[in-house]
Amino acid sequence: MNDSIPTVLQLRPQDNIGVATQNLKEGQAIQLGSFRFSMQESVPFGHKLALQTIEKDEPIHKYGQVIGFATEKIPAGQWVHSHNLSAGDFSRDYAFCSEIPAPPTPLENITFDAFRRANGQIGTRNYVAILSSVNCSATVSKAIARRASERLLANYPHVDGVIALTHKAGCAMQFDGEDHRQLSRVLAGFAKHPNISQFLIFGLGCETGSIPYLINQHQLVQITHPRQKQTSVRALTIQEAGGTVAAIEAGLEQIAEILPLANEAKREPVSASHLKVGLECGGSDGNSGITANPALGAAADLIVAAGGTAILGETTEIYGAEHLLTRRAKTPEVAQKLVDRIHWWEEHTRKFGVIIDNNPSPGNKAGGLTTIYEKSLGAVAKAGSTAMTAVYQYAEPITEPGMVVMDTPGFDPSSVTGMVAGGANVVCFTTGRGSCFGCKPTPSIKIATNTPMYERLSDDMDVNAGEILTGQPIEEVGQAIFQTILDVASGKKTRSEVHGIGDEEFIPWSIGPVL
């Protein structure tokens, strides 16, 4: 540990708690600005401690914001966590559009090497995908992808892989209901995704999520050659093909026909304005809001300055910090859309007897996080400092540049699935506990919040933001993340890609009920 880095950080002058930058021992003397006290008990790395006496029911501040309320009197030097801190409830001043930041200074002439599709979209990878319309066709879809990868793929060096995008839904839902429409948005978003060169839709044949509905609702077409016109979509069902064995053979024949077409794609330099980067955090800890998330926020600002799009998701991990975003909204309408989604989640969870403060997982809490407000305040740091330009429903196509929000759940695979369906061609994923995540067909860059975890899981991490705790400026780490995004968008493999992770993380969010 750098001697110039204090053992305890006070993140904002208003904070009545500090964050331990190393394991603190009972009786250890702490000197931090005007605060002088001895530790009343041991406090783990990344956890909170009282900097002054906090009375029962008094609000506890971190990042200069309320993260909850003391459930008992807490003396200076005492551990602050779930045993003496609860979320409680308090009103937040949304102050629509009151702090709209000035546009960032444009970053010009920044490029990366990508696949330019015939429709003008820009891909960072070149996959062939089998889209399963229903869980009933998942096993056959995987069998086709596996056999195509084993028997055919080696002949097509410009194709990154043949992937089966399977899921647990597709039936037992209201036809044309909210769940059906949302699943169709996801499947259509992946079919149209620029990281997928060619696709085959594969179903059972009798499911609610019918293939004709998907094709017609979203006007799906297929590009069979970069210089040819659009043609009808390739689609098969097990029932029409004559059963499992026949369906696998028919599927392989289709993949064999489209692999040569996908292989014709070549990378070329394109403007960084084509970046659409999903911002995700998972397996968070007490350092997430101090290191990796603010550094990713700095990178998000650079993406926006280059004309690209940074996508903040996980509405349940915006909850309690949404007032910071509504102030930055480009228009009152954009701000209201975010507030409407917050209220939707309050009602949605209430129906099931769930409270949003249950979001911090046991692993999050072991890493130092206590309430959803604390988790959210750290999570929204990923969004950087630019204006919020749009708010999207889950898996809606993202068309607006700048920092945007997509309404996704906090469950990482479902959240990223929605952002990728919306068009994210790169994902940046911060983690403090160590999440080993991939999301084919979009590369996922892993950013560690602390050095001990980075060193322990170095095979899975791409960037170490833990160096911020030893003095490296946030802006420098943000610049390094931005450069990593450009490198990965140009074809450099992430650690999750090296390990082949990403086939099982396609998990569309199902709202319910299951009928």
Each residue's pLDDT tens digit, 228-285: 444 579 999 999 999 999 999 999 999 999 999 999 999 999 999 999 999 999 999 9
Please indicate, yes or no, if residue 158 is contained in any of the structural domains: yes
- Beta carbons within 8 Å of 418's beta carbon, 6+ residues apart: 186, 313, 394, 395, 406, 408, 508, 509
Mean pLDDT of 338-366: 93
Is the predicted pLDDT of residue 72 greater than 50, yes or no? Answer: yes
Q: Is residue 255 located within the same domain as residue 309?
A: no
d(CA 116, CA 82): 50
* Residue-number span of the structural domain to which 348 is assigned: 277-498
d(CA 432, CA 400): 30
pLDDT at residue 223, rounded to an integer: 57
Same structural domain, 213 and 238: yes
Contacts of 135 (CB under 8 A, 6+ apart): 166, 167, 168, 169, 170, 171
Q: Are residues 477 and 408 in the same domain?
A: yes
Average pLDDT of the residues in 138-155: 98
* 104 domain-assigned: no
Query: In this predicted structure, what is the pLDDT of residue 198?
Result: 96
The answer, yes or no, to whether residue 221 has pLDDT greater than 90, is no
For position 4, what pLDDT does the model report? 60
**DSSP codes, 360-408:** S-HHHHHTT--SHHHHHHHHGGGGTTS-EEEEE-TTPPP---EEEEE--
Decide if 381 is inside a domain: yes
SS3 (DSSP) at 104: coil
Q: How would residue 197 be classed by pLDDT, with cut points 50, 70 and 90?
A: very high
pLDDT value at position 111?
98
Both 298 and 247 in one domain: the answer is: no
Last residue of a domain, one of 221, 238, 264: 264
What average pLDDT does the structure give for the chain? Answer: 95
Domain end among 35, 59, 86? 86
Return the CATH number at 73. Answer: 2.30.130.110
User: In this predicted structure, which of 296-310, 356-370, 420-434 has the lowest mean pLDDT?
Assistant: 356-370
> Rounded to an integer, what distance in angstroms lies between the CA atom of residue 119 and that of residue 230?
10
Q: 28 versus 223: which is more confidently predicted?
A: 28
Same domain for 40 and 183, yes or no, is no
- Domain-located, residue 91: no
How does pLDDT run across 447-456, given as a tens digit for each residue? 999 999 999 9
Q: Record the tokens describing residue 4, joined without a space.
A: 């110039």
| pLDDT-based confidence at residue 512 (cuts at 50, 70, 90) | confident
Q: Which residue has the higher pLDDT, 232 or 11?
A: 11
Overall domain count for the chain: 3
Whether 254 and 298 share a structural domain: no
Residue 90: band (very low, low, confident or very high) from pLDDT cuts 50, 70, 90? confident
Both 44 and 153 in one domain: the answer is no
pLDDT at 232: 78
* Size (the chain), residues: 515
pLDDT bracket for residue 224 (50, 70, 90): low
pLDDT higher than 70, residue 226:
no
- In this predicted structure, the answer to whether residue 5 has a pLDDT above a threshold of 80 is no
Same domain flag for 287 and 320: yes
Distance CA 246, CA 140 (A): 10
On whether residue 201 sits in a domain, the answer given is yes
Say whether pLDDT at 227 is over 50: no
Q: Does residue 412 surpass a pLDDT of 50?
A: yes
* CATH number, domain with residue 138: 3.40.1400
Give me the mean pLDDT over the 408-429 stretch: 98
Compute the distance between CA of residue 40 and CA of residue 52 in angstroms, rounded to an integer. Answer: 12
Domain membership flag for residue 100: no
| Domain assignment of residue 105, yes or no | no
> pLDDT at position 89, please?
85
Count how many Cα atoms sit within 13 Å of the Cα of residue 130 in the half-sphere of its side chain.
36
**Domain identity same for 346 and 295:** yes
137 and 79, same structural domain? no
What's the rounded Cα separation, in Å, for the pair 309 and 322?
Answer: 19
Q: Are residues 63 and 202 in the same domain?
A: no
**pLDDT in the model for residue 229:** 47
What sign results for the dihedral spanned by CA atoms 373, 379, 385, 391?
Answer: negative
Is residue 38 a part of any domain in this protein? yes
Q: Does one domain contain both 443 and 360?
A: yes
